[in-house]
Homo-oligomer: A and B are copies of this chain.
């Protein structure tokens, strides 16, 4: 079975339970009923455990969108034509996409990675050319990519982290773009969780009933060609997209650096699940920004025991759900740092 060591990646320690406990003790001393800040308390304690401090902070957050095309897209598994992947890369960099707006609003750097877009992306200071090929192969007929390519894509994902994270940067938001990639993600989820394929397939960007039926049939044909391999890297090679594989590499690299990683929607969550199959500790570093409207996302989050911060019926990808959730992390850390204790504020504690 693939492991970080076998792949030549750095080891990933678990988040620090002692710091988590210390954080919980501080939370219980603050002027509020025990646990009354709910998920914001869990979040603050998680960041303390990741950063090994009682002075947690978000420093130089960066959002990275990995983009790639999918051979299977030619089979009509998406409501949009394949050309949209390249067009949206331009839109991300031009400032007009949802993630562009949210990154600007939050004064966050936005990087775009051409992991395997079927087209030539014009160069741009925030575009990283990591193109593996002009889209994957059609996984109904053959593996999406050779195993060696998959391993190279993992390494390129790791390299991206080295390029985009500034010195002292400790927070990463991950997004993706790729027409057809919820189809790939569905097969990967099926392979990773063992759940019936039908439970893993959704409408993506907005397929109608006929489109959904076509997507289901297409994916069933792919799964019939080759049963999903148990090894996560073989599985990624078989059904993955280049953007998904690079996300896995980025996740492993960011967790090894003890970064806080904010996960976006279904496709990025599938990448997180694949990374966790390689090294379970990676999940300790992940905050799940939202639960998307893509039907399988809720199930997958539950399988990962993940509690998403938002549940707003978003289904856009690009990192938009992660970016929408970032202010909650800021809020959690500000509350942790700045609230008065019962003792300092002269507030009576619980009478019961």
Complex-state Cα separation, A131 to B275, whole angstroms: 58
Instruction: Name which of A64-72, A79-87, A252-260 contacts chain B.
Output: A79-87
Q: How far is the CA of A328 from the CA of B290 in the complex (A)?
A: 13
Which residues of B lie under 8 Å from residue A94 when comparing CB positions? 340, 345
Number of interface residues of A (CB under 8 A): 64
Q: Does A1 contact B (CB under 8 A)?
A: no
B101→A339 contact, CB < 8 A: yes
A31 is an interface residue with CB less than 8 A from chain B: yes
Q: In the complex, which residues of chain B have a beta carbon less than 8 angstroms from the beta carbon of A303?
A: none
Q: Which of A195-221 contact B (CB under 8 A)?
A: 205-208, 211
Interface of A is mostly: loop
Contact across chains for A320 and B97 when beta carbons are under 8 A apart: no
Q: Which residue of B lies closest to A293 (CB)?
A: B38
What residues on B are CB-neighbors of A340 within 8 Å?
Answer: 91, 94-97
Cα–Cα, bound, A79→B349 (Å): 9
CB distance from A181 to the nearest CB of B (A): 13
| A32→B316 contact, CB < 8 A | yes
A60 within 8 A of B: no
Q: Which B residues are in CB contact (< 8 Å) with A311?
A: 311
Q: Is the CB of B37 within 8 A of A320?
A: yes
By beta carbon, the residue of chain B nearest A290 is B38
Q: Point out the residues of chain B lying under 8 angstroms from A328, CB to CB.
A: 310, 312, 324, 327
Contact pattern, A 285-303, Cβ under 8 Å of B = 1, otherwise 0: 0000000010000000000
Counted per complex, copies of this chain come to 2
Q: A31-B91, A80-B348 are in contact. Are A316 and B97 (CB under 8 A)?
A: no
CB of A80, distance to nearest CB on chain B (Å) = 6
Measured CA separation A312–B331 after assembly (Å): 13
Residues of B with C-beta under 8 A to A97: 31-32, 339-340, 345
Residue pair B334, A84 in contact (C-beta under 8 Å): no
User: What residues on B are CB-neighbors of A79 within 8 Å?
Assistant: 33, 350-352
Q: A96-B340, A311-B311, A330-B105 are in contact. Are A36 and B205 (CB under 8 A)?
A: yes
Question: Do B314 and A37 have beta carbons less than 8 Å apart?
Answer: yes
* CA gap between A98 and B337 in the complex, in Å: 11
Instruction: Kindly state whether residue A225 has any CB partner on chain B within 8 Å.
Output: no
Are A351 and B80 closer than 8 Å at their CB atoms?
yes
* CB-defined contacts of A38 to chain B, threshold 8 Å: 293, 312-315
Q: Is A15 an interface residue (CB 8 A)?
A: no
A-B contact pairs, 14 of them (CB 8 A): A33-B205, A34-B206, A37-B98, A37-B316, A38-B315, A39-B312, A87-B348, A90-B346, A91-B340, A96-B345, A98-B339, A101-B335, A105-B331, A327-B328
